Amino acid sequence: MPPLYRVAEVCLYSLLNFVPFMGLALYPFQNRLRFSKKVTAGMILVLTLLQLFLGNLAAFGKEGNGAFLSALSSLIYAIFYLTAVKMPVGKTLFTLLMISNLANFLVVSSKCIEGQIFPELARQSYRWSYSLIFFLVQLVFWLPLFIYIKQIYTPAVEKEPSGREWSYLWLIPGTFYLIWYDTIYANENLSSLEIALRPKNAICLFFINAGACLIYYIVSELVLEQRKTLELQQKNYQLSMQAFQYDNLQNKITEARRARHDVRHHVLLMQTYLQEKNYEALEEYLQHYQREIPGGELISYCENAAVNAVLLYFAQEAQRRGIEFEVRVNLPRETGMEETDLSVLFGNLLENALDACETEQKALWERKKVQSGTTSMQDTENVQKEGTDEQIMQFEQNRQRVKVVINASQRGQALCVTVDNTFWGKLRKDREGRLLSTKHRGNGMGTESVKAIAEKYHGVCRFEAIDGMFCASFMGFPGD
């Protein structure tokens, strides 16, 4: 049985080696925890007790089991971390391995410094001198690490929508972790204690970790730049919708001015027909003039300008592609949601819906040959321009078999949106249940953006295929 003071020394070191770094690891995902804060705190308490047990086992147990206990400890932490944090595995692994590498560097550095100041105590495991040096080293490095985690790393992992890049980026800290593990525990000639006590080894590990930190910083900055680029694309998208609405309005105004300018000439000509009692010519002229009168007022689907601009754009796109477009949207001028997010939300849902309908149109042409012999969408314009009445009627019937239905409303703080489109295919998903794109390899960026907006506004979204329709549902709480 070891003396009580030795057990206390080991427990002190174990706490210093666990609590600060676990706090750093959880900080970026404090709002993405899978369980409540009370449950998570309870899990951390159990993990802390386990850390104390493993620390005492390493200090007073069988010699030579340090490598095994270190690997076991890392595995347990990884299981806890992946369970407690509700984020893509790549992001959590990157964070866990990055923090582990930095912690290991501080451990080795502290032991090396202890060897220079307290050479006799340094050859013993987990003495008070080691904990003291370790605490002082943490004071030096912990604040810069926290600033990096808070100001650079957290925005990078919190806002980046798709998470696909992190499926590979975690290999970077994983490689450095293997280098550290091989350096400390795979040396057949020297023990881990002897390696840590040699200053040249600590200096070597310092430069390795300095390079690793530089890479971590570059990765975070690149992800942040990607996020800024995405935000600019979203703003450009919104501006293009507004520009489209403005152009439509200008065209209506120009047509109205032209019609008003020509009214006097039309009246004079009609008076001439009346005076000559040429009623047949007058009737023909009136019919021609009625066809030339500009359309009615610019369509307004809802009071919200951003959503209305997006709906106008895709309504015209649907008309151009021959897709039925039903809109039942009742949104106020101010919804509490950023206009950029509204534009991206409706834009992604409607773009995906129209593309899916166009795919269904092509499938219809392949499955059912129209009587005209047209078998591909490339012949569409020829049928419309040169086909017989029967061919054109058959063509229009096939086109009208696909449709998009949009419903949106806001009640209280809840904003609900559903976009349904014709879909007879099968949904393709990855292992994590995310929809795969039909346009390229990998996950669909549109659906991932919608999910990111739902998370931002503390809501949910769902994508499912029901009775020949693909149903996309969104509910957010912009007022929260």
Q: What's the pLDDT score for residue 451?
A: 86
200/330 Cα distance (integer angstroms): 70
**Same-domain status, 313 and 451:** yes
Answer whether residue 439 is part of any domain.
yes
Final residue in a domain of this structure, among 204, 225, 246: 225
Reference 473, options 389, 407, 385; nearest CA is 407
CB 170 within 8 A of CB 94: yes
Total number of domains constituting the chain: 2
Answer whether residue 157 is part of any domain.
yes
**Same-domain status, 349 and 216:** no
Strands 460-466 and 469-476: antiparallel
Q: What's the pLDDT score for residue 393?
A: 53
215/251 Cα distance (integer angstroms): 53
Answer whether residue 279 is part of any domain.
no
- Dump pLDDT digits (tens) for 310-368: 898 889 889 888 899 999 999 999 999 988 888 889 988 999 999 999 888 887 776 65
Answer whether residue 132 is part of any domain.
yes
**Same-domain status, 344 and 203:** no
Mean pLDDT score, 256-268: 69
**Same-domain status, 142 and 29:** yes
Structure tokens at 317: 């796109």
Answer whether residue 371 is part of any domain.
yes
476 pLDDT tier (thresholds 50, 70, 90): very high
383/399 Cα distance (integer angstroms): 12
Answer whether residue 238 is part of any domain.
no
**Same-domain status, 339 and 463:** yes
**Same-domain status, 212 and 347:** no
Answer whether residue 85 is part of any domain.
yes
Lowest mean pLDDT among 27-36, 283-292, 346-355: 283-292
**Same-domain status, 311 and 212:** no
pLDDT at residue 127 above 70?
Answer: yes
Final residue in a domain of this structure, among 225, 260, 287: 225
CATH code (residue 392): 3.30.565.10
**Same-domain status, 314 and 213:** no
**Same-domain status, 213 and 316:** no
416 pLDDT tier (thresholds 50, 70, 90): very high
Mean pLDDT score, 118-141: 88
Strands 324-330 and 403-411: parallel
Final residue in a domain of this structure, among 175, 198, 225: 225
Lowest mean pLDDT among 263-267, 337-341, 407-411, 472-476: 263-267
pLDDT at residue 370 above 60?
Answer: no
Considering only residues 192 and 408, tell me which one the structure prediction assigns the higher pLDDT. Answer: 408
**Same-domain status, 209 and 306:** no
178/250 Cα distance (integer angstroms): 64
Answer whether residue 289 is part of any domain.
no
Lowest mean pLDDT among 4-8, 24-28, 279-283, 317-321: 279-283
pLDDT at residue 77 above 60?
Answer: yes
Q: List, in order, residues 6 or more apart from 164 with CB less than 8 Å away.
A: 442, 443
pLDDT at residue 395 above 60?
Answer: no
188 pLDDT tier (thresholds 50, 70, 90): low
pLDDT at residue 211 above 70?
Answer: yes
Mean pLDDT score, 26-53: 90
**Same-domain status, 305 and 221:** no
292 pLDDT tier (thresholds 50, 70, 90): low
pLDDT at residue 249 above 60?
Answer: no
**Same-domain status, 81 and 192:** yes
pLDDT at residue 428 above 90?
Answer: no
Average pLDDT, the chain: 80
pLDDT at residue 387 above 50?
Answer: no
pLDDT at residue 169 above 60?
Answer: yes
What are the φ and ψ backbone dihedral angles of 407, each rounded to 5 degrees?
A: -130, 135
Domain residue limits at 330? 301-476
Q: What's the pLDDT score for residue 246?
A: 61
Q: What's the pLDDT score for residue 334?
A: 92
